[in-house]
Amino acid sequence: MSELMVKLNNVVKSFDDNVVVKNIDMDINAGEFLTLLGPSGCGKTTTLRMIAGFEQPTDGEVIIDGKEVSNIPPHKRDVNTVFQSYALFPHMNVYDNVAFGLKMKKVGKEDIKRRVMEALQLVQLESFAERKPDQLSGGQKQRVAIARALVNSPKVLLLDEPLGALDLKLRRQMQVELKHLQQQLGITFIYVTHDQEEALTMSDRIAVMNGGIIEQLGTPDEIYERPASRFVADFIGETNLFEGKVVELDEQHAYFDLSGHKIPIVPTNPVSLDEEVSMAIRPERVHLHEERNGASFAIPGKVVEHIYVGSIIKTVVSLPGGYEVTVNETPEVAHSFAVDQDVYVNWEPDKAVVIA
Ligand code: ADP
Ligand code: MG
């Protein structure tokens, strides 16, 4: 059993009449890397700020390491925050930026020195101690901000889009570094991003937020392979979504009607006859065929276009009922069907996700 570190109990936050966080319940374990993921304005920062202590919940409780802290100020919580904007003191060098909080707490000089150098070592900036922030790159400034947040060994580190200002290549590199740092230290990280790829890469679990609620909380694999709602299926990765009705049920399968084609599906939750459901299938799970080939089902379609993306080739196929399906294939196996060619598509029934 993992030890509980942060607990949100029915947390609500309103600004005037605007409820921006609606009844959030969440348990975060010690040593866990948990990400709040969702579109801009869904309430990620507000949720993080309530854990940090910069906002007080309108209702509900924030519990950190067994202690109710809902109305306790940030500096009295065992938590530090790293922001996208770095928020370094421009007139202080790297050493003094990292040392600042310890000096305020009147920690002894030798102790400060040891802890600052350890923190700088963690982010590989030992040799930059004398530099001023304007002599550092964006990635280095963010490392200083991380060192400053780690220097007093908080139980929980909160990070609000910390890599958002960096270019893509550096961001990818820092994602891996941060993940390694978290594993090395074993500190609980609560990380905010709107970037689904970043969330899938770094997290032990992801809370997908939308409109102030958590739509799904699960491991990257669960979120990607078994999205619990239409929103999650659409927001995470690419997906093909179909709307239809359950037209037949037998022991193993339900059958979904897609414009007159009966498609077997394996629902993870019970569905009933005539129920209107959405079905989601990932582009890399869809197979393209030239012939029908006696498959248990195959939907006829017509190639609309090929899109070359380097590591994958996308083929868009129009299906009956005005649907289009995108098929992703790796270059080794990619078909080179001509535009307008008649083809068939299908997939393994248990790879399609049914969303009621
Ligand atoms: P996210 O971080 O997911 O982009 P936020 O938590 O920053 O979302 O904001 C959620 C909603 O709350 C937004 O509609 C935002 O305008 C609103 N909001 C955030 N802070 C305040 C505030 N201090 N006063 C009024 N509204 C706010
Ligand atoms: Mg935000």
What pLDDT was estimated at residue 1? Answer: 58
* Å from CA of 207 to ligand 1 middle: 18
Average pLDDT over residues 80-89: 91
CATH for 237-353? 2.40.50.100
| Closest CA to ligand 1's atom 25 | 15
Nearest residue (CA) to ligand 1, atom 6? 43
Structural domain boundaries in the chain: 2-232, 237-353
Residues 232-247: tens digit of each pLDDT: 999 999 999 998 889 9
Domain 2-232, CATH:
3.40.50.300
| All residues with CB under 5 Å from ion ligand 2 | 45
- Kindly provide the residue ranges of all beta strands, DSSP E only, lying in 78-166, ordered along the sequence: 79-83, 156-160
Contacts of 229 (CB under 8 A, 6+ apart): 215, 216, 355
Distance, in Å, from the CA atom of 35 to the CA atom of 199, rounded to the nearest integer, reads 6
Q: Which atom of ligand 1 is nearest to the CA of 15?
A: 25
Closest ligand 1 atom to 49 CA: 6
Alpha-carbon gap, residue 182 to 157, rounded angstroms:
9
Closest ligand to the CA of 213? 1
Helix, strand, coil: what percent of the chain each, to 5?
A: 30, 35, 35
What angle in degrees, to the nearest 10, is found between the helix axes of 168-185 and 109-122?
A: 130
Query: Residue 168, SS3?
Result: helix
- Per residue in 286-343, pLDDT (tens digit) is 999 998 877 778 999 999 999 998 899 999 999 998 999 999 999 888 878 899 999 9
Which pLDDT does position 175 carry in this prediction? 95
Atom 7 (ligand 1) nearest CA: 45
pTM of the model: 0.91
ipTM: 0.99
> What spacing in Å lies between the alpha carbon of 211 and ligand 2's midpoint?
13
